[in-house]
Amino acid sequence: MNRRNNTYYELLDAMKGRGCPVCLLLETYTDRYIDSLLYESVNDTNLRAKLISSGGFCKEHSKKLLRFGYKGYTLGISIIYKDLVDAYYKTLNVQRILSDRRCLICEVSEDMENRILEELIKNIRDYEFYEIYKDSDGLCMLHLSKVLAISKDREVNDLFLELTALKLKGLSDQLLEFIRKQDYRFREEPIGVEADSWIRAIEILKLK
């Protein structure tokens, strides 16, 4: 029997929510990291040096930092960006502004993502875990492709592909029903689970 850890239980909870469970849990982990970075680690000189060498944050995580700023983390953000602004001011050179730079949150997030995917692959044949995953929205195409690239177990890969095919067929049927009910002849019919099928389609088919 596989040894259980926090990621296992948090993944189970994520599978009970809406959307790709890996995306959901990764979002939670990334937010926790940013919270810790801005609240507890902002005065860590080694970390701040690493942030300076990284050159800052990617577009996606810059937007996340803005949202954290609106939640009251402006001091931590200001301390970090004072270092970054000063570093660019002192070493400004058009030829290397963006060369060899990588967002630190992206690096941390990638490690988190790999840990979640490995936990998913390791436990998918566990009965309880499998049953909860089967009833979930399943993986988005991005994370399905990453599972298939990481897993060396053909049986596990076939399992994910089989379950994904069933979920896509069900989603297709719901989209068809939603489209049908947009016809004026059927607009009086109540909307069921197909109401947000278009949202789930966007979420599951994201590529990156």
pTM to 2 decimal places: 0.84
pLDDT per residue over 180-203, tens digit each? 888 778 778 888 888 888 898 998
pLDDT per residue over 71-110, tens digit each? 889 999 999 999 999 888 887 765 566 566 789 999 999 9
pLDDT per residue over 120-159, tens digit each? 999 999 999 999 999 999 999 999 999 999 998 999 999 9
- pLDDT bin (cut points 50, 70, 90) of residue 113 is very high
Q: Which residue has the tokens 């993944």?
A: 11
pLDDT at 166 > cutoff 90 = yes
Q: Which of 25, 4, 20 is nearest to 114 (CA)?
A: 25
Give me the long-range contacts of 56-60 (CB less than 8 A, separation at least 24).
Answer: 56/84, 56/101, 56/103, 57/103, 57/104, 57/105, 58/103, 58/105, 58/106
Q: State the first-to-last Cα distance of the chain, in angstroms, to the nearest integer.
A: 34
pLDDT at 13 > cutoff 70 = yes
